[in-house]
Amino acid sequence: MNQKRVERLEKTLARVAREQGLDQERLRRWVSFLALCGLLERAVSEGILTAYYLKGGVALELRFATAARATKDIDLGLDGTRADRLEAFGQAVALGFDEFTFRLKAQTQSMDMADTVRVQVAIQYRTRAWQTIDVDLGPAGSGIIDLVEPAIRGLAEMGLAIPSPIRCLSLNDQLAQKLHACTAPHSQGRARDILDILLIELLGKLDFSKLRSAAEKLFIERATHAFPPEATIPPAWRPEVQSLAIELGYPVSDPLAIEERFRALVRSIADAGDR
C-alpha cells in the first residue's frame, strides 16, 4: 500500500475525533486496544491461546466509552505461569490482525505481588508505525467472562475492522477486584479504583447482591483483609482523588465528601445479602 493511503488514516483519525467530540489520542488508543483484541481472538481460534479476557480500565472503557476513566495500558487475564503467558502472547503477537502487525519489544517488567508481567507492544498499520502500548499479562483466575459489544465510538467511521464481542471479566468480578485493591493493607496508587467504583454506581450499573457475592469470594481467596473492608481514603491519595473526580465530572470533588460516599457504598454492598 502506498504512503499516501497510509497517511490518510492519520487524517481520518483527526477528522473522526473532531466530529465525534473525542480526544484524538484516546481514539488512537481505542484503535490499538481493539486491534489487539482482534489479534487475541485469532490466537484463540488458532489454538495458540486457550482463552483470554480483558480487565482493568480498558474493560470499563469498552463497556461505558467516555463515561469511564481513560487508561493507557491494557490488562489481560491469561492461563498459565508468567513464563507460559509471555511465551503464548509472543506467539500470538506474530499473527497480526487485519492490516495491523505487532512486535513484542525486548524489555519486560515483572510485578511479583500481582503475579503479572508487563510487556511493550509496538503496533504498525500497513507500512507505518501506529503506537506502542503497555500490556499487563496477569493470571486468568476464576472469574466469570462476559461477552461485551464495544460501546466506544469512532472506529466504524474510520473504516477499520472491529472485533466483537470482546471477552471481558464480568463487571461484578472486576469491581470486586477493585474494591479489594483499594482497601488492601499497604495498597498504593489505587485512588483510581475508588472513582471507578463510584462512577459505575452513578451510571446505575451496580448489582449490589452479585457484587457482594463476588467480593466475599475474592476476599476469602486472597486472604489479605476481611470483607467488608474499611472504606477510607488515605490522605496521600486525596489530591489524586480530587483531580480524577474533576476530570471525570463526578458530582462532588471534595475528597472527604467522596470518602463518605465510598463508605456508604461499601455499607450498601455489605448489606445487600441481608435485604
pLDDT tens digits along 45-68: 999 999 999 999 999 999 999 999
Do 80 and 144 lie in one domain? The reply is: yes
Grid cell, residue 38, equals 482482534
Report the half-sphere exposure of 35 (CA within 13 A, side-chain side): 28
Check residue 193 and give its pLDDT: 95
Do 151 and 226 lie in one domain? The reply is: no
Least confident of 51-60, 123-132, 178-187, 266-275: 266-275
- For 1-40, how does the pLDDT look when each residue is reduced to its tens digit (9 = 90+)? 344 445 588 899 999 999 999 999 999 999 999 999 999 9
Do 75 and 205 lie in one domain? The reply is: no
> What value does the mean pLDDT of the chain take?
92
Q: Domain ends where: 169, 202, 219?
A: 169
CATH number, domain containing residue 42 = 3.30.460
Q: Domain ends where: 144, 169, 194?
A: 169
Query: What is the mean pLDDT of the segment spanning 124-138?
Result: 94
Do 43 and 109 lie in one domain? The reply is: yes
Residue 208 pLDDT greater than 70, yes or no: yes
Q: Domain ends where: 169, 195, 221?
A: 169
Residue 60: CB partners within 8 Å, gap ≥ 6? Answer: 68, 69, 174, 196, 200
Grid cell, residue 65, equals 466509552
Residue at grid coordinates 472503557: 61
- For 138-181, how does the pLDDT look when each residue is reduced to its tens digit (9 = 90+)? 999 888 999 999 998 888 888 888 899 999 999 999 999 999 99
Range of the domain at 66: 3-169
Do 133 and 183 lie in one domain? The reply is: no
Alpha-carbon gap, residue 92 to 238, rounded angstroms: 41
Do 129 and 181 lie in one domain? The reply is: no
How many domains does the chain fold into? Answer: 2
Do 59 and 189 lie in one domain? The reply is: no
Task: Tell me, letter by letter, the H, E, C secondary structure of the chain.
Answer: CCHHHHHHHHHHHHHHHHHHCCCHHHHHHHHHHHHHHHHHHHHHHCCCCCCCEEEHHHHHHHHHHHHCCCCCEEEEEECCCHHHHHHHHHHHHCCCECCEEEEEEEEEEEEHHHCEEEEEEEEEECCEEEEEEEEEEEECCCCCEEEECCCCCCCHHHCCCCCCCEEEECHHHHHHHHHHHHHCCCCCCCHHHHHHHHHHHHCCCCCHHHHHHHHHHHHHHHCCCCCCCCCCCCHHHHHHHHHHHHHHCCCCCCHHHHHHHHHHHHHHHHHHHHC
